[in-house]
Structures are given as structure tokens and as C-alpha cells.
Amino acid sequence: MSEENNQLVVGGFTFQPFAIKPEVLTMRDDALSQSALIGKVETGKQNEQSAAARKVIKGLLSLFETQRKKLKEPILEAGRQLDRVVDAERDELKREDARLEGLEKEFMRAQLRRRAEEEELQRKELARIEAEKQAELLRIAREQAEAERVAREAAEASQRAAREAAEAAQRLAAEATNKKQREAAEKARIEAERQAEASRAEAARVAAETAERARQQAQLATERADQAAMLESKPVEISRARGQSVCKVWIIDQINDFQLMKASPDLVRKIEWDLTGLKQALADGQKLPGVVAHEDIGVGNRGGKAALIDV
């Protein structure tokens, strides 16, 4: 819409800024000057003077209020008429907007349900991937334990053989009676030590290979599971029109004011009291919890009649 067509409603009015007439201000100043002379009310005459001064002041206040209402009413009526004209044209648009919004809400509810279902499937798939990973890691750990057991038994057998060879070499050395037998016994001892060292080295090699193989298998299983979980945990998108936003909002169906105020007083912003009923209850002598009040004297004074003031 172009700039010159931004004005949707034609009409309106202009008015002269409001001001109080000088003669009215003079009357106001005279009334205030007369009232300023009254500093105390201790005698009947002083009471009469105060009442007379208040009558003039009350009269002026009444006239000001009457003129204000009289001048404001056309402005208020113009505002009401403007509201009626605009609202009459807005009603059908608002109904159609509400109808389309309802259709969009149903679509978005279906989208959110679909997303929730897909997210639940994702959750189950992620749980399955994690369970498979843990099962694979457990299998690898069991295989490693079995391989270590076999290697340990082989190492123990080799150690027994080496020990038996060493014991045999010791017996040969003990039974040797000549140089040739002693040399043979020494060679047997050296061979037994060599076999024992070779047995220890082989056991260490097998243990290291077993541990490394288990580590690689566990790493591979973890990487595969993590990659599958990453692919599976992508956010589930819902379809949106350009410029369309979707968020969950709460619709308040009913509020029990007193229950809410008792449970969460910080959520209650405004409380309206029945002041007329409160004052009547106090006048009847009732004790009202939470109410602090004191008696006072009200002195009424009707304003005097004066000519209408144009403001």
C-alpha cells in the first residue's frame, strides 16, 4: 500500500486548544483569597465564614466538572462512532482470520504430533543403538578375557616346561662327575633360562596383541554406534510458511482468585475491594482481618448556584 493510501478511514475534526476564561480564573482567585483568610474555626461565626467560603469553592468545582463533561462528551462520542465504523469493517476480517488461524492450528497440531511420533521413534532407535553397542563391547570384553585365559594357560605351561628344564639342568649339574658332564649341565641350564625368557616374551606379546585387538574392536564399535546415533538424532522439522511462527501457549480457562492469591500472591496484580461494603461493615462494628481503619468526620457543603461558565 502506497504512502498516500495509508489513510484507511476518512473524516475527523479539529478543535481549538482548551483554555480557562480570564474572568473564571479571577473568580477562582477571589474564592481562594477569601478562603485563605480563614485560619481557624473556633466560633460559630468562623464556622459560618468557612461554610460560605466552601460553598463558593464547591460551586466552582461543580461548574468546572459540568463544563468538562459537556465539552468532553462530543469527543468521547466521536471516538465511539469511530470505533463503531472501524469495528464493523474489522469484524468479518477478524472472523475470517480466526477461521484460518483455526485451520493452521489443526495443521500445526498434526505436525507436532508427527514430530513427537518421529522423535519417539528416534529415541527408541537411539536406545537400540546404545544397547547394541553395549552388547558388542561386552562380547569384545568376554573374547578378550577368554583370549587372556588361553594365553595365561599357555604361558603357565611354558613356564612349567622351563622350570622343569631348569630343575633337570640342576640335577645334571649336581650329578656331574667330570668336566664333560659339567659342561653338558651348564648348557642345559643356559637353554632352560633361554626357554624361560622366550616363554615370558611370548606371553607378553600375546597379552599385548590381545589387548590391542580388543581396544581396536571396542573403538570401532563405539565409532559405528556414535555415527549411527548422530545420523539418527537429527532434529525433526515441521512445515512452516514464510513468516509463520509456531509456539505452544497456555489458554487460561478459569481462575479462582482467592486460591491463586493464597498460593502465589506474586501472580496477582490487582484486587478491587467493595469499599462501600467495607465501610458499612465497619459501621456495624465488624472486625475485618487485614483492614486498618479509623473514624473521621465528614462535613458536606452544597455549592451555591452561579451562572454557567463557558470553558
Residue keyed to cell 505452544: 248
In terms of average pLDDT, the best of 11-20, 35-44, 210-219, 222-231 is 35-44
Decide which of 15 and 227 is more confident. Answer: 227
pLDDT tier at 304, thresholds 50, 70, 90: low
Q: What is the pTM of this model?
A: 0.53
Q: Look at residue 78 and tell me whether its pLDDT is greater than 80.
A: yes
Rg (CA), the chain: 51
Mean pLDDT of 205-223: 83
Contacts of 306 (CB under 8 A, 6+ apart): 59, 60, 63
In which region does residue 264 sit, left (phi positive, over 0), alpha (psi from -120 to 50) or beta (all else)?
beta
Alpha carbon distances (Å) from 285 to 276, 279, 282, 288, 293: 14, 10, 5, 9, 12
In this prediction, residues 6-31 reach a mean pLDDT of 84
- Mean pLDDT over 145-152 rounds to 78
pLDDT score recorded for residue 97? 93
Is residue 281 pLDDT above 70, yes or no?
yes
